Amino acid sequence: MNKQFDVLVIGAGPGGYIAAIRAAQLGFSVACCEFSAYDDPAGEPRLGGTCLNAGCIPLKALVASSEAFEKAIHNLPDHGITTTGISIDVTKMQKRKEAIVTKMTAGVQFLFRKNKITLLKGRGSFAGKTDTGYRMIISGKEGDEEVLAQKVIIATGSKARHIPNVKVDNVTICDNEGALKFTEAPKKLGVIGAGVIGLEVGSVWRRLGAEVTILEVMPSFLGAADESVSREASKLFLKQGLHIKLGVRIGQAKLTKDGVSIAYTDDQGSEHTLECDKLIVSVGRIPNTEKLNLEAVGIQTDERGFIPVNDHCATAAPGVYAIGDVVRGPMLAHKAEDEGVMVAELLAGQKPHIDYNSMPWVIYTTPEIAWVGKTEQQLRSEGRDYKTGQFPFAANGRALGLGDSEGFIKMLADGKTDEILGVHIIGASASDLIAEAALAMEFHASSEDVARTCHPHPSLSEVMREAALAIEKRALNM
């Protein structure tokens, strides 16, 4: 007799494991299958997906270590602290990162046990339909097992996109997986793509001493961010020594005796070769849909390989949902999680809803960049009547005390109703500060609401209130 479940989740990344937990909380019998691209040394699948194993969590551990190193050299002397002989042991830094990853992935195993979720170790795929649900094959180390599920949630995530003529070996030419495992800081690092990974990973190795050159195909920098933030970021990153070349065309990458050489054409059409010890390819990600046998249940991927879904993540097959990186929308862990919760609650007959416009974005550079809602250029092109308020961290006592006073917060509000339409931050702790703006937007707050809310003093959050006050030209400390 085949095992039967109310809900089978395919993939245990942040989308899948959160969907499984929420479905279990709501009383369903739940299984989650994971073949794991990220086996641990004992050969067990490591849960947590890209986020925990080769994305958000390990990268932010390296961001923190490299920021601590850079601060020790450049900022501590300003505090009167003498620092001599500071060095970085990259092997130890990597061990710290691995320990965090191991703790977090083991945490997901614990949560599965706590919520009585059955972990099926193996690759999930569709075998066909039954009267009440779906026949699923789980292909594990011991062979194939067929299970039955009334509802299926596909949460198979994404993998790095590669480009022709640049063969990734994850030793010298790396995607996100190899780029997080360097055992020493390269002297010269090349990065293809000035997107989120390029800037975050490039900044890690720059802080640890690498000369970093980022080659970007687009003629403009950080096009998704508000233009004033992109301008400020470009200025600050240049000052930090990141070389960013825009409008390039990438040619052939060749392994050399000392590393790799990469040919490219600049925005004027001149040809160049960049010699470096390591090269990172970070040009976006593609959804994981191969071997799911989606055709067996009548699902077809779109031209870019994503599984088409409606606003509630329902696919073309009744009772089959898809969430996270494998469907439209931003490839962000919190987006995958929210979709997981939404689908589980829908299955339980609830009426959840996601407002994608209130979903924050963060880039973990120094300083951090974060935003929610619309950019000023979007509002302009929509012909919207809007007001702006901006306040610099340099006029905030807490920022000065911390020695982190670069950047600003900019708020955009409707010209008539004063509803907040977007908030854009470049500055210290932007990743935490943006949560207040996301909450305000979720509740359709006005800039006046934020301006009238008491904020703690001294704190970086006062910059948010001052930006709100600045909308009506009544910032108090400037």
Which one, 373 or 392, has the nearer CB to ligand FAD? 373
CA-based nearest residue to 162, from 268, 253, 230, 40: 253
Q: Which does 217 bind (CB under 5 to 8 A by kind): ligand FAD, ligand NAI, none?
A: ligand NAI
Residues contributing to the site for ligand NAI (CB under 6 A): 163, 192-198, 200, 215-218, 250, 282-285, 330-332, 362-364
User: CB burial class (10 A; 0-12, 13-18, 19+) of residue 135?
Assistant: middle
Nearest to ligand NAI by Cβ — which residue? 195
Which one, 210 or 370, has the nearer CB to ligand NAI? 370
Q: Work out whether 438 is an interface residue with ligand FAD (CB under 6 A).
A: no
Distances 75 to 81, 173, 200 between C-alpha atoms, Å = 9, 33, 20
Q: Is 243 helix (H, G, I), strand (E, B) or coil?
A: strand
Q: How many CA atoms lie within 13 A of 91 on its CB side?
A: 0
Which one, 163 or 394, has the nearer CB to ligand FAD? 163
CA-based nearest residue to 152, from 120, 194, 178: 120
Which one, 260 or 281, has the nearer CB to ligand FAD? 281
What letter does residue 367 receive in the DSSP assignment? S
Q: How far is the CB of 52 from ligand NAI (least distance, A)?
A: 14
Element (H, E) at 462: helix 461-470
Structural contact between residues 423 and 357, judged by C-beta atoms closer than 8 angstroms: no
Stretch that binds ligand FAD, among 9-17, 302-310, 437-445, 456-464 (CB under 6 A): 9-17
Q: How far is the CB of 23 from ligand NAI (least distance, A)?
A: 25
Q: Is 264 helix (H, G, I), strand (E, B) or coil?
A: strand
Q: Work out whether 13 is an interface residue with ligand FAD (CB under 6 A).
A: yes
Element (H, E) at 322: strand 320-322
Structural contact between residues 293 and 311, judged by C-beta atoms closer than 8 angstroms: no
CA-based nearest residue to 176, from 164, 153, 159: 159
Q: How far is the CB of 130 from ligand FAD (least distance, A)?
A: 20
Q: Work out whether 55 is an interface residue with ligand FAD (CB under 6 A).
A: yes
Residues 266-305 that bind ligand FAD (CB under 6 A): 288, 292
Query: Does the bond joining 308 to the residue before it have cis omega, within 30 degrees of 0?
Result: no
Q: Work out whether 213 is an interface residue with ligand FAD (CB under 6 A).
A: no
Whether 457 is a known active-site residue: answer: yes
Stretch that binds ligand FAD, among 94-102, 150-158, 253-261, 437-445 (CB under 6 A): 150-158
Residues 325-354 that bind ligand FAD (CB under 6 A): 325, 331-334, 336
Q: How many residues bind ligand FAD (CB under 6 A)?
A: 35
Distances 120 to 3, 31, 44, 287, 407 between C-alpha atoms, Å = 11, 7, 11, 22, 48
Which one, 180 or 451, has the nearer CB to ligand FAD? 180
Site string for ligand FAD, 117-136 (x = CB under 6 A): ------xx------------
Q: Work out whether 71 is an interface residue with ligand FAD (CB under 6 A).
A: no
Which one, 267 or 302, has the nearer CB to ligand NAI? 267
Q: Work out whether 12 is an interface residue with ligand FAD (CB under 6 A).
A: yes
Q: What is the CA radius of gyration of the chain?
A: 24
Q: Which does 11 bind (CB under 5 to 8 A by kind): ligand FAD, ligand NAI, none?
A: ligand FAD
How big is the CA angle at 244 (ends 275 and 255), to the nearest 5 degrees? 20
Q: How far apart are CA 254 and CA 248, in angstroms?
A: 18
Which chain residues interact with ligand FAD by CB under 6 A? 10-16, 33-37, 49-51, 55-56, 59, 123-124, 155-158, 176, 197, 288, 292, 324-325, 331-334, 336
Active-site residues, by number, are 457
